[in-house]
A and B are shown apart, each in its own frame.
Chain A
Amino acid sequence: MAGIVISGVSRTFGAVRAVDNASLEVGEGEFFTLLGPSGCGKTTLLRMIAGFTELNGGEIRFGSERIDRLPAHVRDIGMVFQNYAVFPNLTVAGNVAYGLRARKVATAEIERRVEEALALVQLTGYGTRWPHQLSGGQLQRVAIARALVIRPRVLLFDEPLSNLDARLRVSMRTEIRDLQKSLGITAIYVTHDQEEAMSVSDRIALMNAGRLEQVGVPVDIYRHPVSRFAAEFMGTTNLVPARMVGRAGDQFVSLRPEALHLASDAPQDWPVLSGTLAHVELLGPIMRLDVKLSDGTVLKAAMLDAPDRSLQAGATISLAYDPARLTVLP
């Protein structure tokens, strides 16, 4: 187990700078997420840590040991892949034992540790099954057990949940997080799903076009995005010119939908914006509104559903916002 230090790492493919001078420190035992849209470089960075992609510059250390020039198979990494990558020609137990056999662990100990690992991912008794007999969720558990059982220095997750259905995704991510915390293994997790990232991570590095856009704890990035990209990628937001909310300058301001309330429900001293209700939708507990202001700007607002509220598209509506929740963006 070790922390990870990434300093000045770059990689280009042809003319594309996939990862551009990235530096990061991941603490020991931390659950760290690389988040960003497809093509932002998060997978390339993960694959450089794993040893499947060469660095053009910079270095990567596990603790004090420099690893970026080591062959991938001696880096002692547990990796979980998007498409599970469970060996179809081996049983569940054979898959989990694979890394132990490579390490020449004694047979009796392999058996014990495989059982243990399968119990960890709640697959006790599945050892003799074949991969084609398992569901997607079970396959991903096998892949996780296989990565954990070798007691790696670092765990890497490459969008491990994106092939699962929505409900399973939510329960699996909690499970992955709990497992990682109970074992205390440093983990780097790649995803494009902002909600997933916020749910599991100790810290997040938001990536855009090969660069690290913002690094921080999830709530900080959400509440205090440092750029328009960060504000828009981390959840939904309204980007409005600063002048509209009574600020000087040409900058933009991020105003989260949930910071807007119906004026009637809001404290007296909150500023008010009026417009017509263009669209309203109820998504279970949350109600979403699109409000068109007189200058044509459309503001998105979200609030909890209330039984006595009735809103019709086309009606005139007044929204108030919490001035403390405005973020001015550069």
Chain B
Amino acid sequence: MKLGVPHNLRLPVAIAALGLLFLGLFLLYPLFNVFSASVLDADGERLTFANYAKILGRPFYRAAIANTLAIGVAATAITTALAVPFAFALARLPVPGKAAILAMAALPLVLPSFVSAYAIVLLLGRSGIVTQWLQSWGLGFGSIYGAGGIILVYTLTLYPYVLLPTIAAFKAVDVSMEEAAQGLGSSPRRTVWTVTLPIVMPAVLAGALLVFIETLENFGVPFVLAEDMPIFAVEAFKLFIGETAPNPASAGVLGVLLILTTALVLLVQRRFLSARRFATNTRQAPPILRIGRPLQVAATIYCWAIVILALVPFFAIVVLSFMEFRGPVLHPNFSLANFGGLFDRSLRPLVNTLVFATLAAACVTLIGVPIGYVVSRWRSGVATLLDVVATLPFAVAGTVLAIGFVVSFNSGPLVLTGGPLILVLAYSVRKVPFAVRSASAIVHQIDASLEEASISLGRSPFQTLMRVVVPLMLGGILSGVVLTWVTVASELSATVVLYSGPWRPMTVVMFQALEGSGAGIATAAASTLIVVTLLPIILLYRLVRRYELSML
């Protein structure tokens, strides 16, 4: 009783304390510094809202906010409109090749979206291949730079966020509800509108909000496609690069506004979804509906078209990376020169990517899984606090977190800037929410009495965690490791702020090649990233639980 903590709470209390310590140091402290930079004057002494007034007083930044929100709403609406019928077709209609469609539909979530954006530029940009080909026929189309292109890429890369949970929801609809509706005289078509869709609505909205938040935070896609259109995350980055590091007041203002927006969206979602939860008791998966031949063909074409269109940019990049570039100009000859140019100087960036991803995946697992366990098993205020704090990185754009890291760990007792560790820590913090959610969902399915049985048989709570809970979670944990690994490998928004000198990963190489005129190197780097993210998924396909992708 020295600690004053009851013996059966010592393990959760210890985990919660360590978790809060880590998140406090590497999440709350950097965010606090971003916040305080935004509300302090130039000397860092007096409270002021002058920074906010300055930023919000400039039409350029007001436009950045308006553009970001407008693009986010448009992309979310289009994505949802495309993904819900897609999900319905996969869950309830006789579409051939469902397994293949599902496997391919999950891929955009792990492939880097800025690669897709860059491919769109190479294909449809001013001197794009398709553009030039069309021009040779005297045809033209509007510019893909600006909002249109950004929305297109968001739609192609983010639709699985809506698709995957909605498929699951459609499959979880209790058949007897539909049967009841039809028994009451409702036609099948009307039943879908009045019964099935309302039941899956919470899942659709949850997915749609993920899309919206993702668009707010995304840095790479607007960086490639926005040109002179101001966008939130990009401007925060540019402001920060331009400011003196100790006091990033203006970048701080944008960062705080960005966090507030996402937090607001999340709060609205929580309120709305907690009030409307339609849990249904599924006895069996709902049946595949019988439809006419024309409708079946249409549904099949629809599903395959979306899946393939989303992957075409990635495929195109891989093909293009084996062609010859002279400066930015493409020559249609097979060539390995791009990869030569990429790897000749050094393999270091590739090694960096692999090492960072491995370290971050290990770190995320070691932190996220115990937190997920505590959040799921221990009902108390501390556990709720831990849950909220561990979910917070989800609402924080990578750029903003990275700015906080630089401000916090540039001087003082803990100096991390200039080294590799700062990247690994930033990645770990960013992916913690995924690990926590994934782990707590798995723990939720493990009967708590298994642990009690183990304890009563003489294993301490910690031994029980290691010997009973972890083995039963193993499949889920490994799946989480793979998914964390691949998403870290293609992380860009925090990376561009935090990388330094020899610690450039592959994403930065591509980013720098984009800024310069090394289109060849950029395609080779993009191809490499595609391989690095796809290979583990393909190799460990059986292990990966695809539904978890939507929690990333």
Q: Which of A86-128 contact B (CB under 8 A)?
A: 86-89, 98-99, 102-103
**Which residue from chain B places its CB closest to the CB of A82 in the assembled complex?**
B449
Task: Chain A residues near B472: list those with CB within 8 A.
Answer: 88-89
The answer on a CB contact under 8 Å between B447 and A85 is yes
Complex Cα spacing A73 to B447, Å: 18
Task: Chain A residues near B1: list those with CB within 8 A.
Answer: 69
**Is A218 close to B, CB under 8 A?**
no
**Complex interface bits, A48-84 against B, C-beta within 8 A gives 1, otherwise 0:** 0011101000000000000001111111111101110
**Complex interface bits, B441-464 against A, C-beta within 8 A gives 1, otherwise 0:** 000000101101111111111011
**Complex interface bits, A26-64 against B, C-beta within 8 A gives 1, otherwise 0:** 000000000000000000000000111010000000000
**Complex interface bits, B240-254 against A, C-beta within 8 A gives 1, otherwise 0:** 000000000000000
Interface residues on B, range: 20 to 34
Residue from the list A72, A87, A156 in contact with B468, Cβ < 8 A:
A87
**Knowing A51-B8, A52-B8, A54-B6 touch, does A75 contact B454 (C-beta < 8 A)?**
no
Task: Name the residue among B447, B450, B455, B461 with the largest chain A CB count within 10 angstroms.
Answer: B455
The answer on a CB contact under 8 Å between A79 and B8 is no
Complex Cα spacing A85 to B456, Å: 12
**Is A150 close to B, CB under 8 A?**
yes
The answer on a CB contact under 8 Å between A72 and B7 is yes
The answer on a CB contact under 8 Å between B452 and A73 is no
Task: Chain B residues near A82: list those with CB within 8 A.
Answer: 449
Task: Name the residue among B447, B449, B460, B468 with the largest chain A CB count within 10 angstroms.
Answer: B449
The answer on a CB contact under 8 Å between A77 and B460 is no
The answer on a CB contact under 8 Å between A99 and B7 is no
Task: Chain A residues near B455: list those with CB within 8 A.
Answer: 51-52, 72-73
B485 to chain A, nearest CB (A): 25
The answer on a CB contact under 8 Å between B450 and A85 is yes
**Complex interface bits, A133-161 against B, C-beta within 8 A gives 1, otherwise 0:** 00000000001001100100000100000
The answer on a CB contact under 8 Å between A72 and B449 is no
Task: Name the residue among B1, B456, B468 with the largest chain A CB count within 10 angstroms.
Answer: B456
The answer on a CB contact under 8 Å between A87 and B8 is no
**Which residue from chain A places its CB closest to the CB of B454 in the assembled complex?**
A98
The answer on a CB contact under 8 Å between A102 and B453 is no
**Is B471 close to A, CB under 8 A?**
yes
Task: Chain B residues near A73: list those with CB within 8 A.
Answer: 455-461, 463-464
Complex Cα spacing A89 to B469, Å: 10
The answer on a CB contact under 8 Å between B452 and A54 is no
The answer on a CB contact under 8 Å between B453 and A87 is yes
**Which residue from chain B places its CB closest to the CB of A96 in the assembled complex?**
B457
**Which residue from chain B places its CB closest to the CB of A51 in the assembled complex?**
B8
Complex Cα spacing A69 to B1, Å: 9
The answer on a CB contact under 8 Å between B471 and A99 is no
Residue from the list A54, A76, A88 in contact with B8, Cβ < 8 A:
A54
Task: Chain A residues near B6: list those with CB within 8 A.
Answer: 54
The answer on a CB contact under 8 Å between A79 and B458 is no
**Which residue from chain A places its CB closest to the CB of B468 in the assembled complex?**
A87
A104 to chain B, nearest CB (A): 10
**Which residue from chain A places its CB closest to the CB of B1 in the assembled complex?**
A69
The answer on a CB contact under 8 Å between B456 and A102 is no
B74 to chain A, nearest CB (A): 48
Complex Cα spacing A86 to B457, Å: 12
The answer on a CB contact under 8 Å between B458 and A150 is yes
A67 to chain B, nearest CB (A): 12
Residue from the list A85, A88, A150 in contact with B452, Cβ < 8 A:
A85
Complex Cα spacing A156 to B450, Å: 15
Interface of A is mostly: loop
**Complex interface bits, A282-313 against B, C-beta within 8 A gives 1, otherwise 0:** 00000000000000000000000000000000
B371 to chain A, nearest CB (A): 22
A290 to chain B, nearest CB (A): 36
The answer on a CB contact under 8 Å between B452 and A99 is no
The answer on a CB contact under 8 Å between A102 and B452 is no
**Knowing A50-B452, A52-B452 touch, does A99 contact B447 (C-beta < 8 A)?**
no
Residue from the list B7, B452, B456 in contact with A78, Cβ < 8 A:
B456
B210 to chain A, nearest CB (A): 33
Task: Chain A residues near B464: list those with CB within 8 A.
Answer: 73
Task: Chain B residues near A81: list those with CB within 8 A.
Answer: 449, 452-453
Complex Cα spacing A258 to B283, Å: 44
A51 to chain B, nearest CB (A): 7
Complex Cα spacing A82 to B452, Å: 12
Residue from the list A51, A85, A102 in contact with B459, Cβ < 8 A:
A102
Complex Cα spacing A150 to B8, Å: 22
The answer on a CB contact under 8 Å between A99 and B457 is yes
Q: Which of B359-377 contact A (CB under 8 A)?
A: none
B382 to chain A, nearest CB (A): 16
Complex Cα spacing A54 to B7, Å: 9
Task: Chain B residues near A75: list those with CB within 8 A.
Answer: 456
B467 to chain A, nearest CB (A): 9
**Which residue from chain A places its CB closest to the CB of B460 in the assembled complex?**
A73
Task: Chain A residues near B471: list those with CB within 8 A.
Answer: 89
**Knowing A54-B6, A79-B456 touch, does A87 contact B450 (C-beta < 8 A)?**
yes
The answer on a CB contact under 8 Å between A99 and B8 is no
Complex Cα spacing A89 to B457, Å: 16
Complex Cα spacing A83 to B450, Å: 9
Task: Chain A residues near B453: list those with CB within 8 A.
Answer: 79, 81, 85-87, 143, 146
Task: Chain B residues near A50: list those with CB within 8 A.
Answer: 452, 456
Complex Cα spacing A48 to B255, Å: 50
Task: Chain B residues near A69: list those with CB within 8 A.
Answer: 1, 7
Task: Chain A residues near B457: list those with CB within 8 A.
Answer: 73, 78, 98-99, 102, 146-147, 150
B454 to chain A, nearest CB (A): 7
B463 to chain A, nearest CB (A): 8
**Which residue from chain A places its CB closest to the CB of B457 in the assembled complex?**
A99
Task: Chain B residues near A52: list those with CB within 8 A.
Answer: 8, 452, 455
Complex Cα spacing A87 to B471, Å: 10
Complex Cα spacing A317 to B461, Å: 65
**Which residue from chain A places its CB closest to the CB of B452 in the assembled complex?**
A52
Task: Chain B residues near A77: list those with CB within 8 A.
Answer: 456
Task: Chain B residues near A83: list those with CB within 8 A.
Answer: 447, 449
Complex Cα spacing A70 to B461, Å: 13
Task: Chain A residues near B468: list those with CB within 8 A.
Answer: 87
**Complex interface bits, B47-69 against A, C-beta within 8 A gives 1, otherwise 0:** 00000000000000000000000
A4 to chain B, nearest CB (A): 15
Task: Chain B residues near A87: list those with CB within 8 A.
Answer: 450, 453-454, 468
Task: Name the residue among A70, A74, A81 with the largest chain B CB count within 10 angstroms.
Answer: A81
The answer on a CB contact under 8 Å between A74 and B458 is yes
A303 to chain B, nearest CB (A): 43
Task: Chain B residues near A89: list those with CB within 8 A.
Answer: 471-472
Which are the 7 A-B pairs with shortest beta-carbon distances?
Answer: A99-B457, A102-B458, A85-B453, A71-B7, A85-B449, A79-B456, A81-B449
Sample (19) of A-B pairs whose CB atoms are under 8 Å apart = A50-B456, A51-B8, A52-B8, A52-B452, A52-B455, A73-B460, A76-B458, A82-B449, A83-B449, A85-B452, A85-B453, A87-B450, A87-B453, A99-B458, A102-B458, A102-B459, A102-B463, A103-B458, A150-B457
Binding site for A on B (CB under 8 A): 1, 6-8, 447, 449-450, 452-461, 463-464, 468, 471-472
